[in-house]
């Protein structure tokens, strides 16, 4: 089977999807910040813009037996976003909207490509605070933070990413979209699926939305 056949099917399914195939273009998406790893040569690099795009990509991947590599900003230090031979790298940089800042409930709902520092600035402008601050905060994405359960210096007082996640929207390997958790503290019935996805390094599903906890901004010290 020629390499172009699966991609033709993807283009048919999602004609507006941005897809890079030229090695000169895909090169920048083969590596993350992990040393001593040899990245593979991806089939292509795709940039979904919506949960529906991600769902269609995952369904296509199942039908064509194409592995997927989710990718945020590519700052990871454990090789999770490194390209695999013949796989489609799915980059979340175009899903970068802060969908809601809910002051009454102290939550923010975001797409996974939002940069950590951008979220911090947006909620800070409303007198609110988002705790997790990996040292890469000016570059890394919330999706990557969730998949790595990242934490920075403030974790000593405020905890790591897992402590700030109330709910997720995730596209599973079969293309099903699931929602875990929710805004309410009492959204606790059943298994704690949110926590399973946090720290799973993209192996259990593609995170397409997250509802995060906020606090009133602490006073300057």
Ligand X SMILES: Cc1cc2nc3c(=O)[nH]c(=O)nc-3n(C[C@H](O)[C@H](O)[C@H](O)COP(=O)(O)OP(=O)(O)OC[C@H]3O[C@@H](n4cnc5c(N)ncnc54)[C@H](O)[C@@H]3O)c2cc1C
Query: What are the residues binding ligand X (CB under 6 A)?
Result: 32-33, 70-77, 80-81, 92, 112, 134-136, 140-141, 143-145, 147-148, 150-152, 201-202, 206-207
Nearer to ligand X, 60 or 92 (CB): 92
Kindly state the smallest distance separating residue 89's Cβ from ligand X, in Å: 9
Nearer to ligand X, 130 or 185 (CB): 130
Nearer to ligand X, 145 or 180 (CB): 145
Give the number of other CB atoms < 10 A from CB of residue 156: 8
Kindly state the smallest distance separating residue 24's Cβ from ligand X, in Å: 21
Burial of 47-63, coded b for 16+ CB within 10 Å and e otherwise, reads: bbbebebbbbbbbbbee
User: What DSSP string runs through 51-113?
Assistant: HHHHHHHHHHHHHHT--EEEESSS--SSSTT---TTPEEEE-TT---EEEEETTTTEEEE-TT
Kindly state the smallest distance separating residue 218's Cβ from ligand X, in Å: 20
Nearer to ligand X, 49 or 71 (CB): 71
């Amino acid at each position: 089977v020629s390499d172009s056949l699966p991609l033709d099917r993807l283009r048919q399914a999602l004609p507006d999807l941005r897809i890079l195939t030229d090695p000169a273009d895909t090169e920048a998406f083969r590596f993350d910040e992990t040393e001593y790893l040899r990245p593979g040569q991806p089939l292509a690099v795709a940039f979904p813009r919506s949960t529906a795009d991600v769902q269609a990509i995952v369904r296509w991947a199942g039908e064509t037996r194409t592995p997927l590599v989710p990718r945020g900003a590519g700052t990871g230090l454990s090789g999770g976003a490194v390209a695999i031979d013949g796989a489609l790298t799915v980059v979340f940089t175009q899903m970068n909207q802060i969908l809601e800042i809910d002051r009454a409930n102290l939550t923010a709902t975001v797409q996974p490509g939002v940069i950590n520092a951008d979220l911090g600035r947006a909620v800070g402008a409303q007198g609110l605070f988002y705790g997790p601050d990996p040292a890469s905060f000016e570059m890394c994405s919330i999706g990557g933070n969730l998949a790595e359960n990242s934490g920075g210096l403030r974790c000593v007082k405020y905890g790591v990413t897992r402590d700030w996640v109330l709910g997720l929207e995730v596209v599973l390997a079969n293309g099903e979209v699931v929602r875990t958790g929710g805004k309410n503290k009492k959204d606790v019935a059943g298994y704690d699926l949110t926590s399973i996805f946090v720290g799973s390094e993209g192996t259990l599903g593609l995170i397409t939305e997250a509802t995060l906890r906020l606090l009133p901004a602490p006073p300057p010290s």
